[in-house]
Each structure stands twice: as C-alpha cells, then as structure tokens.
Structure 1
Amino acid sequence: MSSAPHGGLPDVDARTPPVLVLPGPGPLARDEVAGWCAAVGELVAGGGVVVCDVGAVRAPGLGAVEVLARLQLAARRGGGRIRLRAPAPGLLSLLDLVGLRLQVEGQAEEGEPALAVEEAVETGDTAL
C-alpha cells in the first residue's frame, strides 16, 4: 500500500516564525548586523514575522537599540515585522524611552484584544 506524495516539509509548521538569537553582552560588528538585516528581509518577504530572542542581552544599551531598530527597518522593507522574545525589563524601558515600539511575544498585537478577555453584557443592553 502506498500513498501519494504531498508537498512541503512534513515536520515544519508554517505558522511558526523563524527565530534569530542575538548574542550576549558584547558589542556587535557592523558586518554582522548587515548580514542579519539581509536575512531578516528575506525571511519576512511577503509579510512574515521573525522572532528575535534577546534573552542574552542583559545589560542593554544604545547599541542593542540600534541593532533592533535596523532589524525592524529591514523587516518593514520586506513587508513584515520582528517580535521580541525574552527581553529584559531594562531593554523594554530603553526601547520605550527612544520611542521604538516592538511587539513582544505573549502580548496582544496592536488593535487586537488580549486573550481570555470577554466583554461584559448588561441585561438591559439592546442588541445592535
């Protein structure tokens, strides 16, 4: 008994975004950042998402902010966006301070209600 071959990779979930892991506390070379930006641009082509694991960045500075800004710009140019995984509170504060709004894993996307939140309905409300 045989079955017809099916397209695509059998063990890959199409809804799982690729993950880019940023290295630890040391500064990044410009050529590394340029390579990552090119990779992000390719991965998000057509509106995808790339998850940036920033868990190793424990003492954030403006260098980390610059890298994330460049990655977000590359993603936007490709029609997608980046999402942060495991950001330190200091990094989130610094991003907020400079006005760089990035989505964080586990948070509701802008314009979407948070999970497990239901609207209350009063018994006297009229139906629309």
Structure 2
Amino acid sequence: MSCARPDGPQNMDAGTPPAVLVLTGLVTREQAAGLCDDVRARLGATGAGVVVCDVGGLGPPGLGTVDLLARLQLAARRAGGRIRLRDPAPSLCALLGLVGLSFELEGQVEQREPAPDVEEAVEPGDPAP
C-alpha cells in the first residue's frame, strides 16, 4: 500500500459526497461493533457507496487499529460500499501494508483512472490528435 498522495482529482462518487466518520483515541472491540453499524447506516443514508474514515486522531497504530479498519471495511463491503482513509500516519500505512491490507486513501487516484500526466503510447500509422 502506498501512502503517497498523488496530485489530481479526488476519487469521489458522482453526485453525492461521502459521509465522514472521525475516529479518535483507542477503540475497544465493543465500540468497533457500534462503528460498524454506523458505517452501514451512513452508506445507506448517503447512497454514495463510500464512507471516509478520518484516522488522523487514532494515535500510534497497533494491531487493534488494524482490526478496527478491517472490520469497518468488511462491514462496508457487506453493505455494498467501501471505506476510504483520510489522514493516515505513515506508520499506519506501513503497518497495513505489512499485514497485507489495502485501503483507498482520500485524494488517491482510482486504479481504473489513468494517472495525471500519463500519455498513451502512439502506434505507427495512428492519426495525429
């Protein structure tokens, strides 16, 4: 997982801005269940298909943070959506990559979109644009 923040348009679903869930401090397993319910409710209420999780206030990442984010992503996917991380610390990105989890980052270009300033190859014989 890359934590680089590429320039370019933000990855937004057409028409509806995503709901934002701000996560702060240590989150217990009991609180995680409630946050999963909250993600499902926000996905249903906005229809945007994505919930932005602001993780800047979580503090030093640990396996509890990884567990929480994995549960939130699973809840979102089961509800037909996904989560996107806002303001992850580089150490959180490294830990997620270490355990093999991949998350979209706010401001990251979607994989199906061409990266900015990338030109397509021109084949011999193609008409000039």
- Cα distance in structure 1, aligned partners of 2:106 and 2:57: 16
* Greater relative contact order, per chain length (Cα 8 Å cut-off, separation 6+): 2
Match of 2:5 in 1: none
Match of 1:118 in 2: 118
Structure 2 matches for 1:2-81, cutoff 5 A?
Answer: 14-24=15-25, 27-45=26-44, 48-81=49-82
Say whether the 8 Å CA contact 2:23–2:54 is kept in structure 1.
yes
- Deviation of 1:122 (Å): 4.8
- Deviation of 1:118 (Å): 3.5
Unaligned runs of 5+ in 2: 1-14
4+ aligned runs moved over 6 Å, structure 1: none
RMSD of aligned alpha carbons: 2.2
- Deviation of 1:16 (Å): 1.2
Superimposed CA distance per residue, residues 27-63 of structure 1 (whole angstroms, 9 cap, x where no aligned partner): 3122211111011112224661000000112310000
Say whether the 8 Å CA contact 2:43–2:49 is kept in structure 1.
yes
Identity over the aligned pairs, expressed in percent?
Answer: 54
User: Higher strand fraction: Structure 1 or Structure 2?
Assistant: 2
Say whether the 8 Å CA contact 2:19–2:42 is kept in structure 1.
yes
Say whether the 8 Å CA contact 2:42–2:51 is kept in structure 1.
yes
Count of residues in correspondence between the two structures: 112
- Deviation of 1:108 (Å): 1.0
Q: Secondary structure at the match of 1:64?
A: helix
Larger radius of gyration: 1
Unaligned runs of 5+ in 1: 1-13
Q: Secondary structure at the match of 2:57?
A: coil
